[in-house]
Structure 1
Amino acid sequence: MGRTHALCGAALLLCALLPVPGLSQQADVQSVALAGMMGNKALLVVNGSTPKSVAPGESHQGVKIVSITGDQAVIEQDGKRRTLRVGDAPVNSGGSTASAGRGTRITITESGGGHFMTAGQINGKAVQFMVDTGATSIAMGASDAERAGIKYQDGQPVRMSTANGTTTGYRIKLNSVRVGDVEVFDVDAVVIPQPMPFLLLGNSFLSRFQMKRENNLMTLDKRY
């Protein structure tokens, strides 16, 4: 599998937000999370899929956005309403937080262009990952780190080369990283000051799994 680009532009992010042709909009909803806001639209993550921009009054896979206020959105699903906040852990269709993270297998569907996107959590806060087999560790922007409550400036300063030149990043240790029902602990990461459209899921996480790719599916089986 070729190396995924380390940093992607806004054009890729917009492409990732487009709906997948043929995908049922009434899929069985198991979890819902609010990944962020785009103007007057909410970035809704259903069942760990790629974020979808949804305006008030619109629905995505059976989840309707009722209203948006600041970093919160009121959703309606199966006739029930509840409030989601950016950064909160995904909730399941019963309204509780997702299960305990004791799983051992992650399956990710290709999002287009050879990229594998998935929703996840860092220290219990919802994030959006792109798998990057060429990245040494998980990489995130400073704003994502702050939203997850990470005091990244207490980490080890490191010089980094980015698309915009050389900058100072911070090497840190994440308490926990979760994708789906699989959670790992004490994961190396680096924080850069530039904003990033999503976090890079690098080898500090991936090396703990046996990776297999068949057609448009990537399977990660936990080794330790």
Structure 2
Amino acid sequence: MGLFKDKAIVSIDGGKPRTLSVGQTVQGVKLVAADSASASIEVDGKRRSLAMGQSFAGGTPVGTRQSVSLTADSRGHFAAMGALNGFPVTFLVDTGATTIAINASEARRIGLDYRAGQATGVNTAGGVVPAWHVKFNTVKVGGIVLNQVDGMVVESGLSVPLLGMSFLNRMEMKRDGQTMTLTQRF
């Protein structure tokens, strides 16, 4: 997210940005080198060189399925910290949304050329608004990472990113009171 001589501003697992100095390790991520052009990081013994805006998603060990537990807020809604194409996002879990949906300003923030997608219209409380079908290269929630996930960018009328069924259909969802657990199926 930011690069300097011997320092980098990073977001780990969709968390809030933090500054790492060369040699520092946080949550299993070690900053090996950094300058104004790129950062070299080490995760699980593997080194990667990343430029501004790039991300790295570690692989899931064979035979294990990643899961994440979410807690409902006072209104019964579930929020999930995650990332779209490597950029931190806080989703609202929405089983009524066909796909992951974000607004146009969020798409611009993450550098998504959404107008290259297929144009359509969607019904909102304010009427029909322009929208575009897109594919997200990576969608991350907790330790779960999915590639090539269908999404939608809505021009206006959407205030929070929605984690819809294009992601949730690939999960086992279990609810126990105020806790929802998502476990990756495939």
Counterpart check, 1:100 vs 2:83: no
Q: Is the 8 A contact 1:172 1:190 kept in 2?
A: yes
* Misfit runs of 4+, over 3 Å: 91-99
Structure 1: stretches of 5+ with no match in the other structure: 1-29, 35-74, 76-81, 84-90
Shift of 1:100: 1.9
CA RMSD of aligned residues (A): 2.4
Structure 2: stretches of 5+ with no match in the other structure: 1-12, 21-25, 32-40, 44-56
Shift of 1:215: 0.6
Could you tell me which residue of structure 2 aligns to residue 136 of structure 1?
98
* Counterpart amino acid of residue 144 in structure 2: V
Q: Distance in 1 between matches of 2:181 and 2:150?
A: 22
Q: 1:111 to 1:168 in 2, by over 3 A?
A: same
Q: Distance in 1 between matches of 2:14 and 2:125?
A: 35
Counterpart check, 1:110 vs 2:72: yes
* Counterpart amino acid of residue 16 in structure 2: A
Could you tell me which residue of structure 2 aligns to residue 207 of structure 1?
169
Could you tell me which residue of structure 2 aligns to residue 33 of structure 1?
16
C-alpha offsets along residues 142-162 of structure 1, whole Å, 9 cap, x if unaligned?
A: 111111111000000111111
* Counterpart amino acid of residue 68 in structure 2: I
Q: How many residues align?
A: 142
| Partner SS, residue 134 of structure 1 | coil
* Counterpart amino acid of residue 128 in structure 1: T
Counterpart check, 1:153 vs 2:144: no
Q: 1:32 to 1:187 in 2, by over 3 A?
A: closer
Q: Is the 8 A contact 1:109 1:218 kept in 2?
A: yes
Task: Provide TM-score, normalisation by structure 2.
Answer: 0.69
Q: Is the 8 A contact 2:81 2:90 kept in 1?
A: yes
Q: Distance in 2 between matches of 1:115 and 1:101?
A: 29
| Partner SS, residue 111 of structure 1 | coil
Q: Is the 8 A contact 1:158 1:169 kept in 2?
A: yes
Shift of 1:31: 7.7
C-alpha offsets along residues 143-184 of structure 1, whole Å, 9 cap, x if unaligned?
A: 111111110000001111111111110001110100111100
The alignment-based identity, stated in percent, is: 37
Q: Is the 8 A contact 1:142 1:195 kept in 2?
A: no
Q: Is the 8 A contact 1:138 1:201 kept in 2?
A: yes
Q: Is the 8 A contact 1:101 1:180 kept in 2?
A: no
Q: Is the 8 A contact 1:140 1:200 kept in 2?
A: yes
Counterpart check, 1:181 vs 2:164: no
Counterpart check, 1:221 vs 2:179: no
Counterpart check, 1:167 vs 2:129: yes
C-alpha offsets along residues 179-221 of structure 1, whole Å, 9 cap, x if unaligned?
A: 1111001100000111643210000000001110001100111
| Partner SS, residue 58 of structure 2 | coil
C-alpha offsets along residues 9-51 of structure 1, whole Å, 9 cap, x if unaligned?
A: xxxxxxxxxxxxxxxxxxxxx98415xxxxxxxxxxxxxxxxx
Q: Distance in 1 between matches of 2:14 and 2:105?
A: 24
